Amino acid sequence: MLHIDGIWVVIVNFDGGAGNLRSIASVLDEGVDPQHVVFVDNASSDGSTELVDERWPDLVRVTNTQNLGFGAAANQGMELALGAGAQAVFLLNNDAWLEPGCLERLVACLVEEPEVAICGPLVLAGTQGTTVWAAGGAMTWRQNLSTLVGHGRPATALHRSNRDVDYVPGCALLVRADDLRRTGLLDADLFAYHEDVDLCLRVAARGRRVRLIGSAVVRHEAHGATGGGYNPRRKYMMGVNAIWFLRRYGTPVRWVGFVLFDVVPIPLLVLVGSFDGRWRGALAKALGHWHGLRGRRVTAAYLRAGASPLW
């Protein structure tokens, strides 16, 4: 029987500062064994790893000498968890934290519904209030290829319900160990962005279900390692990976929808962005599309300050 003792948690850090402490504390408050928490550091230089070591020396630690990206780092943690006999793995962003009872409700879903492979909570934005960051995700094959359900809106009964969704975002995602073994881990070549969507689609392709548990709540201050919003690095990564994602899942209709709704509007977004400062993000997304079409992947080296005129 699946229970809290069988859950391993993976948290990836890249210069996450003191935010890591809130994330880890919220997991331990749910009853997770500290030795079942894998803290993977992607060559941070802000002292955040030392803060974690000082407070919780018993966590499982993985220290990388370079930034491998979220996918590869999360896979390192999941491989350790699977090797140690985890029944399920919970991915949690280091800028997100659980409200009381969250993990218990997610585990109950997997216990009560064996056909569910992945479940995730309602994610609310910020430290208080009821603004939704994501109530699961839906594939649109248009702008950004998908959308976070309810993003930016007040939480409603629909957002707080339990229902099947196309995907749950990787900022808070519980997945059965058996499904990871059968489906495979995250696509590390995606570096960051779309890797969680890809995992959920691969799981669904096997006839397994992905479910939102709206009664479970995670809080998320969505900026983290990439700056969030219209940060040029974030938009660049999304642009590159959208092309690679379409190469895997695209149909003629999906490609056309993407071009019409994601590519064609970019000149207008650049123009509008010249008034509000977001033009760099729009151009970075276009650059990402171009690099993806040329077969390039996101790399840590290209994300360094000064590697592109856009950042």
Q: Quick one: 102 and 44 in the same domain? A: yes
Give me 60's structure tokens: 């499982």
Sort strands 209-220 and 116-125 into parallel, antiparallel or unpaired.
Answer: parallel
Per-residue tokens: 295: 């077969």
Residues 206 and 266 grouped into a single domain: no
Residue 310 lies in a domain: no
DSSP H or E run through 214: strand 209-220
C-alpha 222 chain-centroid distance: 10
Residue 302: how many other CB atoms lie within 10 Å: 17
Residues 212 and 238 reside in one and the same domain: no
Nearest Cα to 135, choosing from 110, 116, 118, 154? Answer: 154
The answer to whether residue 109 is domain-embedded is yes
Q: Are 12 and 59 in the same domain?
A: yes
**Distance between CA atoms of 42 and 128, rounded to whole angstroms?**
29
The span from the CA of 95 to the CA of 246, in Å, is 29
Examine the domain organization and report whether 97 and 175 are in the same domain.
yes
Domain-located, residue 173? yes
- Tell whether 76 is covered by a domain: yes
Q: Is 79 exposed, middle or buried (0-12, 13-18, 19+ CB in 10 A)?
A: middle
CB pairs under 8 A, 24+ apart, for 27-30? 27/90, 27/92, 27/98, 27/103, 28/56, 29/98, 29/100, 30/4, 30/98, 30/100, 30/101, 30/102, 30/103, 30/104
Take residue 1 and report the two structure tokens written for it. 């029987």
Q: Which residue shows structure tokens 């979220």?
A: 70
Decide if 309 is inside a domain: no
Report yes or no on 198 lying in a domain.
Answer: yes
> Is 308 within the bounds of a domain?
no
| Global confidence as pTM | 0.95
Q: Which of 175, 191, 216 is the last residue of a domain?
A: 216
Query: Residue 41: its pLDDT value, please?
Result: 98
Pick the last residue of a domain from 192, 216, 240. 216
* pLDDT number for residue 230: 79
Is 133 inside a domain boundary?
A: no
How long, in residues, is the chain?
311
Among candidate residues 216, 245, 266, the one where a domain is terminated: 216
Same domain as 254, residue 194: no
Q: Clarify whether residues 83 and 208 are in a common domain.
A: yes
Which CB contacts under 8 angstroms, 24+ apart, belong to 296-305? 296/240, 297/189, 297/191, 297/240, 297/244, 298/69, 298/190, 298/191, 298/192, 298/236, 298/237, 298/240, 298/241, 299/191, 300/66, 300/67, 300/68, 300/69, 300/191, 303/67, 303/233, 303/236, 303/237
Do 112 and 246 belong to one domain? no
Residues 286 and 170 in one domain: no
Number of Cβ within 10 Å of residue 148's Cβ equals 18
End-to-end CA distance of the chain: 49
Count of domains for the chain = 2
CATH number, residue 207: 3.90.550.10
CA distances (Å), origin 266, targets 139, 167, 250: 21, 26, 21
Q: What range does the domain containing 74 cover? A: 4-120+157-216
pLDDT at 222: 73
Do 98 and 186 share a domain, yes or no? Answer: yes
pLDDT along the chain (311 residues), means of 10: 92 96 98 98 96 97 97 98 98 98 98 98 96 98 97 98 98 98 98 97 98 98 63 97 98 98 96 93 97 97 96 96
Give CA–CA dist 194/58, Å, rounded.
32
User: 41 and 169 share a domain?
Assistant: yes
Cα distance between residue 57 and residue 20, in whole Å: 14
Contacts of 61 (CB under 8 A, 6+ apart): 38, 39, 41, 53
Residues 191 and 48 in one domain: yes
